[in-house]
Amino acid sequence: MGMVRKGLILLALMYALAVAALYLGQRQLVFDPSQRAPAPEEAGFAGATEHVLTAADGTRVRLWHAPAPRGSATILYFQGKGGEIADRPQRWAAYRAAGFGVAFLSYRGYGGSEGEPSEAGLHLDADAAYGWLLEQGVSPDRLVLVGESLGTGVATRLAADQAVAALILEAPYTSLIDIAALRFPLVPARLLMRDPFPSLDRMPGVKAPVLILHGTDDSRVPPAMGERLFHAASGPKELALIPGRGHVDLFGPDLWAREVDFLHRVFNGPPR
């Protein structure tokens, strides 16, 4: 009996240590930045100018910007968890070729920006980018938010709190708590998550047109989460489930072309 008790105590200790390790290391799982931080022209971002913005807590973050042609809209893009904005020149080029102004935000702790990433911090960075674009003369009714994976939580919160022309979400989650609960079913993730990004709770506050894009074979963020967000949206909305696409292979030229088509309809109405 003593051996059984000792074994149970050992298992309990091992479980507690595993939970503690997950709790302490969770931000390394949520955020995966790189710090190459090249200049825009070195990374192949044609027409981009770098600006350093100061968030409300004093953290300085980088923004790459190219102004919109007269009368066109501007896309403010929020990246996924990995790498940095410099890794995404093809996306930049696609938006520019479609005639949009573009702003790519480098979150705190990512690619040349100060600080350490957290949900609260990323929201402050997004607020700084939104405010700066308005100062440059971008009207909210000509400002589009695009979120990729992790960035969908940043974009959704901003669209719920501020006026924007449209919100586009690529492989969005209902919340990171839901993701953690799926990946670690034996851990009380709902009690331990420091950066929950509760997009499903925030979605009803978004009044702008919403486009949600999700791969049907996404094993990281189940497409059912995109569908739940779609049903929670209160304004005009569209859902595109892309057959055969997973998480990483969702992001590419055909996806951006779908977004451009959606924005043409938002700004110009359906073709006659």
Interatomic CA distance for residues 166 and 267, integer angstroms: 9
Note the pLDDT tens digit of each residue in 115-142: 999 999 999 999 999 999 999 999 999 9
31-268: CATH architecture: 3-Layer(aba) Sandwich (3.40)
| Residue 22 pLDDT grade (very low, low, confident, very high; cuts 50, 70, 90) | low
Active-site entry in 125, 178, 195, 218: 218
The torsion of the CA quartet 115, 118, 123, 129, rounded to 10 degrees, works out to 30
Amino acid occupying residue 13: L
Q: Tell me what pLDDT residue 271 has.
A: 41
Place of tokens 């449209």: 166
To the query of whether residue 247 is one of the catalytic residues in this protein, the response is: yes
Amino acid occupying residue 92: W
Token reading at 164? 């924007």
Q: Tell me what pLDDT residue 185 has.
A: 82
Active-site entry in 32, 72, 247, 264: 247
pTM as predicted: 0.92
Task: Report DSSP state, residue 194.
Answer: S
Does 207 score more than 50 pLDDT? yes
The SS3 call for residue 2 is helix
Cα dist from 264 to 179, 267, 268, whole Å: 33, 5, 6
Note the pLDDT tens digit of each residue in 24-54: 667 787 899 999 999 999 999 999 999 999 9
**Backbone CA torsion sign across 83, 87, 93, 94:** negative
Token reading at 28? 């390394």
Interatomic CA distance for residues 71 and 209, integer angstroms: 19
Note the pLDDT tens digit of each residue in 138-184: 999 999 999 999 999 999 999 999 999 999 999 999 999 999 999 88
Q: Is 248 buried (19+), middle (13-18) or exposed (0-12) by CB count in 10 A?
A: middle
Active-site entry in 149, 175, 178, 195: 149
The SS3 call for residue 12 is helix
Percent of the chain with pLDDT over 90: 82
Backbone angles phi, psi at 72, to 5 degrees: -95, 170
Place of tokens 């149970």: 8
Q: Tell me what pLDDT residue 184 has.
A: 80
H/E stretch holding 127 reads helix 119-135
